[in-house]
Amino acid sequence: MTNSDISTAASVSAGTPALLEAYSGRRPERLPVWFMRQAGRSLPEYKEVRAGTEMLDACLTPELAAEITCQPVRRHGVDAAILFSDIVVPLRLAGIDVEIVPGVGPVIADPVRTPADVARLTAHEPGDHAPIAAAVRAVTDELGTGDGPGDTPLIGFGGAPFTLAAYLVEGRPSRDHLAARALMHADPAAWDRLLTWTADLTGAFLAAQVDAGVRAVQLFDSWAGSLSVDDYTARAAPYSARALDHVADRVPRVSFGTGTSELLTVMAGHAEVVGVDHRLRLDVANERLGGEVPLQGNIDPALLTAPWEVLERHVRAVVEAGRAAPGHVVNLGHGVPPTTDPAVLTRIVELVHSL
């Protein structure tokens, strides 16, 4: 590489937001940080603007979804926004009767238990993504497109096919996902049809967000940790890959799940970045991944209510462990608990940026 090439590369790097630098496996000048579930829940301004509006209705009201998406960027100075939405929004758009019940989570009116149920469900086509695209455009109008150093990139997201299928089969959140895992083994053909459908539903949802302007996407596999490595590899991961293939070579793709410490190498097969929950140190995760995959994570959300000296020590340890990876985006090991003091999140951002 000539001196001119080096100078050009440096100038390109300097103009790239830190988040996208880290997702590309490089070390930006400032360590980037954002929080899963930063848009909403813990913020008083969120509670104010969403008062009287059901969750899924808020997700599908573009101006409201955009406002909620931007709130944590304004308050905390995080290095990324993540679209305010929900993994079951594509189900609602496709005409599936789903509600998010406070204190419970997503509830499916007609759970999918038989091959006939699967056939009925998979006859639904992806719905109109216009409200999602409008929300994305409204966010980028305020935060920038993510092409310059002053912009805040917007991350889109979708639910992993297994997690969506688990909700559809169980009918609501479950601790062990026995019904979903039983269907997986009892009727492989029905399982394949169901997972192919959920993969394409999420894939279309992700593609609509990328078309509208998001600069990265994250696949949330909330329940993958209930699977063995063999089941995840054979009966879940191929469908996650199918979903993410809808935006391949367009934006960085992050794969995240909870309880997935034993699944990381498989997850890395379908995404450029792997999110690590709080159960595994980042240096250990990096070693398992051969030192070749950018990582995201993994502050323990439980420590957000600990005394500051305890939390600060933990954040510094996370950052230190993350130095082993080719790129590191600081995040939580799961989402922001609703009882979190917003000032604590702002203080973490300031600490991470100082490091």
Helices and strands (H, E) in the chain, number of each type:
17, 9
State how far the alpha carbon of 234 is from the alpha carbons of 162, 183, 224, 267, 281, in Å.
12, 14, 12, 12, 26
Residue 86 a catalytic site member:
yes
Closest to 165 in 3D by CA, of 82, 243, 102, 229:
243
State how far the alpha carbon of 148 is from the alpha carbons of 6, 11, 13, 42, 290, in Å.
19, 11, 10, 29, 31
Our CA angle for 330, 208, 263, nearest 5°, is 45
Closest to 46 in 3D by CA, of 26, 66, 20:
66
Pairwise CA distance, residues 155 & 118, whole Å? 31
Only one residue has tokens 């939390």, namely 311
Task: List the catalytic residue out of 23, 37, 79, 239.
Answer: 37
Dihedral angle sign, alpha carbons of residues 304, 306, 309, 315: negative
Q: Are strands 154-159 and 81-82 parallel, antiparallel or unpaired?
A: parallel
Residue 167 a catalytic site member:
yes
Structure-token pair, residue 28: 């930006």
Task: List the catalytic residue out of 50, 181, 215, 281.
Answer: 50
Pairwise CA distance, residues 209 & 159, whole Å? 13
* Burial of residue 46 (number of CB atoms within 10 Å: 0-12, 13-18, 19+): buried
Task: List the catalytic residue out of 23, 46, 167, 232.
Answer: 167
Only one residue has tokens 């006939």, namely 116
Give long-range contacts, CB 8 A cutoff, 24+ apart: 178-184: 179/111, 179/113, 180/223, 181/226, 181/227, 181/231, 183/113, 184/231, 184/235
Instruction: Return the amino acid letter for 7.
Output: S
The answer to whether the beta carbons of residues 206 and 129 sit under 8 Å apart is: no
Task: List the catalytic residue out of 41, 113, 288, 347.
Answer: 41
**Host H or E run for residue 345:** helix 342-354
Residue 27 a catalytic site member:
no
Provide the annotated active-site residues: 37, 41, 50, 86, 167
